[in-house]
């Protein structure tokens, strides 16, 4: 079985001057690839969870990540916010959501500088990304904050919900916590209880600036790593799980949060598992439930296992624990890499290592969270809160 300690060893090897680098198939940082804010932030978050678990040396690495995000080249100290990479000036909601998450976990872990990072990142999220009229975030800006991309997306929205719940937990009695949870509820209600439910649990991912669905978006680039065409199975599992974290974070949560989590999960299982024959979840389906991209992504399976584990914890139903165990065994057989201690990020439907969308083993975010969520801890708004 995949060992969390070995996975964290893998994560720690990503430390480089200025942050954390992208890891290749050999478990080493890929040379020549620029620093990427989403990788730096996600590794800071993972190592913050390790610090909460009491892992020796994790605190120093979290401080390294916090320092990189506060004072490093990725932060735009003149105009505010964080650039996508050291070579890309785009300022996206997806990236900033992970900066908020990193600051939240560092704060929860008591790491120096974590609260300052969280406060700064939340202010950028509030003033640049959160659209209070829509109850959803905008997608991306240029470096000077002059031009906002016309596109809107559910991926960034989803991670905004995750980050908002984590920030609310980290803030404690701060008055911003209630507002962040209310924003997370508004977004989830529009996405899950609105668009997904209205389409028989086929979640649209791509929208115009006015939040009109774009069902044909990226039909010509279906394997895009962040904006693939069609229904993304892994996101349906992720949203199902987030419904349950949100439910745990609210006092008097609406009943639809659990009902919709179950419906979204069940639809993803029924339509996704072995949809093209071989075991496993394909990356994407079209609107008639036919496989578009059959590659098996490690993160999709991780999110399926995590969602099943959390549903089992919340409902007490054995069927979810059975599925989580079955899928975990499949992951250990197919994805686990005994050399690095991590999982291969992409496989062909028949199980060979592939790189059509993801090369290497970039970070430990999905796998680390799955391993922790599978341990049966009480469900909270964030993983950091459950570890505390």
pLDDT in tens, 294-353: 999 999 999 999 999 999 999 999 999 999 999 999 999 999 999 999 999 999 999 999
The DSSP annotation for 205-230 comes to -EE-TT--B-TTTTTTSTT-SSS-SS
From 10, 45, 96, 235, active-site residue:
235
146 is annotated as an active-site residue: no
Rounded distance, CA 240 to CA 256, Å?
Answer: 11
- Report the SS3 class of residue 258: helix
Rounded distance, CA 388 to CA 382, Å?
Answer: 10
235 is annotated as an active-site residue: yes
pLDDT tens-digit readout, 27-54: 999 999 999 999 999 999 999 999 999 9
Q: What is the CATH number of the domain that holds 280?
A: 1.50.10.10
pLDDT at 388: 85
Residue 163: which domain range? 4-387
Task: Specify the pTM.
Answer: 0.98
The DSSP annotation for 175-191 comes to THHHHHHHHHHHHHIII
Q: Count of domains in the chain?
A: 1
Rounded distance, CA 362 to CA 338, Å?
Answer: 16
For 286, counting Cβ atoms within 10 Å of its Cβ (0-12 exposed, 13-18 middle, 19+ buried), the class is: middle
pLDDT at 42: 98
| Res. 141: pLDDT tops 90 | yes
Q: Beta strand pairing status for 284-285 and 231-232?
A: antiparallel
For the chain, list the strands marked E by DSSP.
15-16, 19-20, 91-92, 130-131, 136-137, 140-141, 152-153, 206-207, 231-232, 284-285, 291-293, 296-297, 346-347
Q: What average pLDDT does range 255-260 have in this prediction?
A: 98
pLDDT tens-digit readout, 201-210: 999 999 999 9
Q: What is the dihedral of CA 358, 364, 366, 371, to 10 degrees?
A: 140
């Amino acid at each position: 079985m995949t060992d969390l300690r070995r996975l964290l060893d893998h994560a720690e090897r990503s430390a480089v001057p200025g942050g954390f680098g992208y890891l290749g198939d050999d478990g080493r940082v890929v040379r020549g690839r620029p620093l990427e804010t989403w990788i730096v932030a996600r590794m800071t978050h993972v190592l913050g969870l390790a610090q909460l678990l009491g892992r020796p040396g994790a605190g120093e690495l979290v401080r390294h990540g916090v320092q990189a995000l506060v004072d490093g080249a990725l932060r735009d100290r003149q105009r505010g916010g964080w650039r996508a990479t050291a070579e890309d000036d785009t300022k996206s909601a997806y990236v900033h959501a992970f900066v908020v998450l990193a600051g939240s976990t560092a704060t929860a872990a008591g790491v120096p500088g974590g609260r300052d990072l969280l406060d700064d990142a939340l202010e950028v999220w509030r003033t640049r990304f959160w659209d209070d009229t829509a109850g959803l975030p905008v997608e991306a800006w240029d470096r000077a904050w002059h031009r906002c991309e016309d596109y809107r997306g559910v991926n960034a929205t989803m991670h905004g919900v995750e980050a908002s719940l984590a920030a609310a937990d980290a803030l404690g009695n701060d008055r911003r916590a209630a507002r962040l949870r209310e924003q997370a509820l508004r977004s989830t209600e529009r996405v899950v209880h609105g668009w997904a439910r209205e389409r028989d649990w086929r979640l649209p991912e791509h929208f115009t600036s006015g939040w009109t669905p774009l069902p044909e978006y990226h039909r010509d680039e279906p394997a895009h790593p962040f904006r693939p065409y069609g229904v993304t199975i892994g996101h349906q599992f992720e949203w199902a799980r987030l419904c349950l974290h949100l439910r745990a974070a609210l006092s008097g949560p609406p009943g639809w949060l659990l009902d919709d989590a179950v419906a979204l999960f069940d639809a993803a299982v029924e339509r996704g598992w072995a949809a093209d024959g071989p075991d496993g979840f394909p990356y994407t389906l079209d609107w008639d439930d036919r496989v578009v991209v059959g590659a098996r992504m490690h993160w999709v399976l991780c999110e399926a296992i995590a969602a099943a584990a959390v549903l089992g914890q919340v409902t007490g139903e054995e069927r979810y624990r059975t599925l989580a165990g079955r899928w975990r065994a499949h992951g250990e057989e197919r994805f686990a890499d005994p050399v690095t201690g991590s999982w291969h990020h992409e496989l062909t439907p028949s199980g060979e290592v592939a790189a059509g969308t993801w090369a290497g083993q970039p970070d430990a975010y999905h796998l680390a969270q799955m391993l922790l969520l599978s341990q049966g801890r009480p469900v909270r708004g964030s993983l950091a809160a459950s570890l505390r």
